Amino acid sequence: MIISEAKPFQEVMDSIQGYQKIFLVGCGDCATVCQSGGEEQLKDMKQRLEAAGKTVVGMCVPEAACVAAKLKTALAQNMQAFREAEAMLVLACGLAVQSLKDNDRFGRSAVPANNTVFGAVMDASGNFYEKCALCGECVLAQTGGICPISLCPKGILNGPCGGMDKGKCELDKERDCAWVLIYRELEQKKALDTIRIARPPRDFKKAIKPHTKIFAANPR
């Protein structure tokens, strides 16, 4: 899940200063769950923009704004209003903003209303936790399913640093050291031999941006 949060309203207004007619785009997936781009947030944004003198010509909440087919379907259902817009204000992550830009044949500005914060998992209580750094070189099989790249502020691959104290991170005394968590997990699973093998430095070429993955036949 991609976590996003609303930008300050004045920043949004500054971004659309040169436009009068605005079309709002949300996301029925991540942004709805984050309460940063669902139907309620679009309605609230519409009221605030109109109170500030803007004209909101329409809005839509695609099932997943980063998926071109689903985005195009939602826009097609609102095409008359979409055509009238001078700019699109996107209440979703940066992927949605760029997806809209790439799929708008009219070439108008796609403006973010949110900041994209991190990729996360969500627990049963609805809390979000960053647990994957999308590094391109997964080590979870060797670390008991706990990612040291995202959970350790230093991204250390071979055990705790010298600053670890009583199981806590030296950078945040309230945070458990990622490698202590890994050790305990592997100890429970009787798999401590896996961390006795020194890992080589990360191959940072695997994390060079931007990534592209082309599928011969894309079902979506």
Q: How many CA atoms lie within 13 A of 124 on its CB side?
A: 0
Helix or strand or coil: residue 118? strand
The string of pLDDT tens digits covering residues 86-139 is 999 999 999 999 999 999 989 899 999 999 998 888 888 889 898 888 888 888
**DSSP code of residue 36:** S
Q: Tokens standing for 80?
A: 């008359």
Which of 82, 35, 29, 30 lies closest to 59 in space, CA to CA? 82
Q: Residue 135 and residue 150: Cα distance in Å, rounded?
A: 9
Class of domain 2-119: alpha beta
pLDDT digits (tens, 9 = 90+) for 139-179: 898 999 999 999 999 999 999 999 999 999 999 999 999 99
Predicted model pTM: 0.82
SS3 at position 12: helix
- Where exactly are the structural domains of the chain? 2-119, 135-206
The pLDDT score that the predictor gives to residue 52 is 97
**Rounded CA gap, 69 and 185, in Å?**
41
Determine the average pLDDT of the residues in 55-79: 96
Letter for the amino acid at 134? L
pLDDT the model gives residue 211 = 66
> Residue 210: its pLDDT value, please?
74
- What's the token pair of residue 121? 């998992």
